[in-house]
Amino acid sequence: LRLRRLHEAFKKVLDKTFEEMPFETFIQQFGEEFAALHRDYLFDLYSQLISMTRSNAEEEFGVIVFQQDLDEKLAKLHKLMSEQPEGSQGVSIAKQSPADAMRSARMGLKEAEKKKLEAWLAQVDAENDELRPLFQAKHREACEGAAALRQRKEQYSAALAACSTAVSCQ
């Protein structure tokens, strides 16, 4: 019974999903001129796309149900519920809503990820601190080399100008 209801709910999800993409919305993606010329072809393509997508989704859902052994788990749940004493409240209601419980679980994961990232950042900062003096030395060396090259260029330009003047005077 529960598995059947799960399948029915999944079918409703698929129906609602495909209602959100009617043929007219699909055909607009091809431009007015192309859509007008090939409307029948596009309708066939749309029908095949919807049919294949629905079929693949239903098949994949069936595989998930099988892999997760939902049939047996839902039967076990039904059995446990039927074994509850008459008039009992069954499982006590949690003090937290499911959404709050999920939020709390996510917060723990986020905190763990934050600590991991902070440790990684500290490691990167330490490596940067180690490399910074080397970078500064190489940068200073490059700047000095560039200044020396500019000075030599000016010297050679002056010497070339003097030679050109001397040659033109002769």
Following DSSP, what letter does each residue of 12-73 receive, concatenated? HHHHHHHHTS-HHHHHHTT-HHHHHHTHHHHHHHHHHHHHHHHHHHHHHHHHHHHHTTHHHH
Q: Which residues contact 57 (CB under 8 A, 6 or more apart)?
A: 14
Residue pair 1/78 in contact (Cβ under 8 Å)? The answer is yes
Structure-token match 């990167």, residue found: 124
The ranges of the chain with pLDDT < 70 are: 85-96, 170
Residue pair 104/96 in contact (Cβ under 8 Å)? The answer is yes
pLDDT of 74 reads 86
Residue 30, SS3? coil
pTM of the full structure: 0.43
Residue pair 28/103 in contact (Cβ under 8 Å)? The answer is no
Token digits of residue 44: 């066939």
pLDDT of 152 reads 92
The CA distance from 90 to 95, in Å, is 15
Signed CA dihedral, 104, 108, 114, 118: sign only? positive
Distances (CA, A) of 48 to 19, 51, 52, 107, 109: 15, 5, 6, 43, 42
Residue 32, SS3? helix
pLDDT of 12 reads 92
